[in-house]
Structure 1
Amino acid sequence: MSTSTDTPLTLFWSPGACSFVPHVALCETGLKFDLVLAKVGHRTKEFEAINPKRRVPVLVMNNEIITEMAAVLTAIATAAPEAHIFGQTPLEKIHVYEWLNYLSTTAHGQIIAEIWRTERFTNNKEIYPQLRAKGY
């Protein structure tokens, strides 16, 4: 995959969501990019057509749609290898993937969901406070 700094990238993001991470990564690389608001709870039909999973981040690069945090960050790192956002050595890159997997499967998928998306675990609204407390 290659891109030039003249080829704009588009990042779909939402305030307070994990899409903040690729936003920072793009700023660090110096790549030209556009931000498109895809606010949680207010996703448009256009956004759903781009990403049926209805989740951010979404990166559009060279007309390719890239979803999921590790893939989005890998695309950014590949587009700007001189920025070394995934480290400089193979072992540093391995540890970046290790951390990304932990964040996406454990921290984000379980802990954060217990706090902000308790309905994923149960329809019983009476126990939402207990689930949120467990997430904290």
Structure 2
Amino acid sequence: MGRARGRLGRAVRRKRRAASAGLAVVAAALAVGGTDAQASRGAAPPEVKPSPAAVRMVSAPVRIADAATVRLLRPGDRVDVVAAERTGPPRVVASGARVAEVPAPDQGVGDGGALVVLSVPRDTARALVGAGAVARLAVALC
């Protein structure tokens, strides 16, 4: 019986030592790494920046000068939109824009071209509107 008690006592002491060592490691990790409790003690919380994927997409109707090119497009296609002004070289206004819709051709519209609806970030939509007002727009499939 005495032997069993001795073994039991040693086992309990070993478990206490292991538990104490584990608690010491956890305490050291918390002391080095800090906790979120620091933010509640007056420190400013970390600034959260939106991820690039969180950019809001909008639908931008764009009139493309070549109607035949627009007829080749299907929803889901990716295109680059190029603005060709009378002065200066052509410039890419939107890169990798997703085609959202290709409306049916308008009958009786005299200004030529064809309409396509692109899904683009809001800033790119503004650039497309501005470019469409002063230049002829073309698309290239990506």
Question: Where is the strand percentage greater, Structure 1 or Structure 2?
Answer: 2
Bin of the TM-score, shorter chain as denominator length: under 0.3
Q: Greater RCO between the two (CA within 8 Å, min separation 6)?
A: 2
TM (norm. structure 2) is 0.21
TM (norm. structure 1) is 0.22
Larger of the two Rg values belongs to structure: 2
Question: Where is the helix percentage greater, Structure 1 or Structure 2?
Answer: 1
